[in-house]
Structure 1
């Protein structure tokens, strides 16, 4: 007699009826109204598995391509480029497959700094609007503050802009690796992790020193 496994109910079996003596004696397969559904479900699942396998193989091929490594691992960009005007705002931008995050400021008429996120799940309003957004970071309690939410077709992603008191405060918060999450009414809109923050901080600091405002 087979014992039931611990914590799992054994499937009851019919023990008072003998199996057919031979295949010829077996009754005809009874009709099953779900048979077609089972077949369709199996076919769909098989197709989905094949599609997923192709996507995985394509993803692995892309990840191995040196030209795509920057987007996979993440990369920093800095503004203005060499030769930029003295009045240009300094910015450091990190992008990867999770989205984009940028620290910028100050600039003409603006002494503070901004922390901007772009992501595919960030709302794309028809007009600029101010909405409460929550910024979550591992080493700080969640902070819900008014933020700007906008969308520009050229950027193709919704954007959220937080105001930072000063560029010095932003630089002081840089870490080598950093995780950010932005949420609205408890719904996560973007999670992004950067690496290489120490070098990016120094590059941005040097730019700010060359472009005082």
Structure 2
């Protein structure tokens, strides 16, 4: 796909993607490995750990099936240092957050990543402004066509670490895609939208949507660096399914 990206674009083809749910991503990434046995042993002193394990074995042998939170509400907590208590409280908060997120179908979908196929302009005719967006906790990647006057399109990246200028800016960035050499490309960097003011946007011009589709793989990794600093990193999956839907839209011109 990199070989099909040019250094300029028609900004009229861009739109803001109202995906405010991404703002919850920071919550999800708080602590993926919360409350493992290894974490608990690191918090408890060696003596308290031994008492803890003996009591667990006694309760299991007697058929008592209390959960881990039982042990942190007994006098075991009184034997912890203030620093250990603070660490334990933080882990418990992270665990509660993770449990809430795990049960939330919207956030679960976001964590897994998903594709959205649509036409990027409401007044678009058949085959015009056909777009596919992949959304996950890292941001959004969108490939969008244009109207019948141009066979090219736009490749748009949105992420929290992308610069958010006050006015439209042209940047020179290095784009790295899995399986290809890094490419130095000029891109547009517009101001952040009101709907997603914490997320910056980089807009690449694609000279041929047909060639861009041919370069879409089922799994792909992208990384973008600006002035020697990485500002975006994201992967997608199920790209073949999105490619087929995008191709069907484009063929309806």
TM superposition score normalised by structure 2: 0.61
Q: Match for residue 123 of structure 1?
A: 163
Bigger strand fraction: 1
Q: Match for residue 51 of structure 1?
A: 90
| Structure-2 separation of matches of 1:94 and 1:133 | 21
Q: Match for residue 163 of structure 1?
A: 205
Relative distance call for 1:43 and 1:185 in structure 2 (3 A) is: farther
Q: Secondary structure at the match of 1:140?
A: coil
Tell me the CA shift for residue 186 of structure 1.
1.9
Q: Secondary structure at the match of 1:124?
A: coil
Q: Match for residue 182 of structure 1?
A: 224
Give the structure with higher Rg (CA): 1
Relative distance call for 1:167 and 1:178 in structure 2 (3 A) is: same
Q: What is the count of residue pairs matched by the alignment?
A: 170
Relative distance call for 1:109 and 1:128 in structure 2 (3 A) is: farther
Q: Tell me if structure 1 keeps the 8 A contact 2:127–2:249.
A: no
Relative distance call for 1:133 and 1:43 in structure 2 (3 A) is: farther
Out of 136, 143, 158, which is 2:183 matched to? 143
| Structure-2 separation of matches of 1:57 and 1:46 | 16
| Structure-2 separation of matches of 1:124 and 1:49 | 37
Q: Match for residue 109 of structure 2?
A: 70
Q: Secondary structure at the match of 1:202?
A: helix
Q: Secondary structure at the match of 1:163?
A: strand
Q: Match for residue 244 of structure 2?
A: 202
CA-based RMSD of the aligned residues comes to 2.4
Relative distance call for 1:43 and 1:183 in structure 2 (3 A) is: farther
| Structure-2 separation of matches of 1:115 and 1:161 | 6
Tell me the CA shift for residue 198 of structure 1.
0.6
Cα offsets for 1:78-119 (capped at 9, x unmatched): 112899633740000000001000001132543311111000
Q: Secondary structure at the match of 2:211?
A: helix
Bigger helix fraction: 2
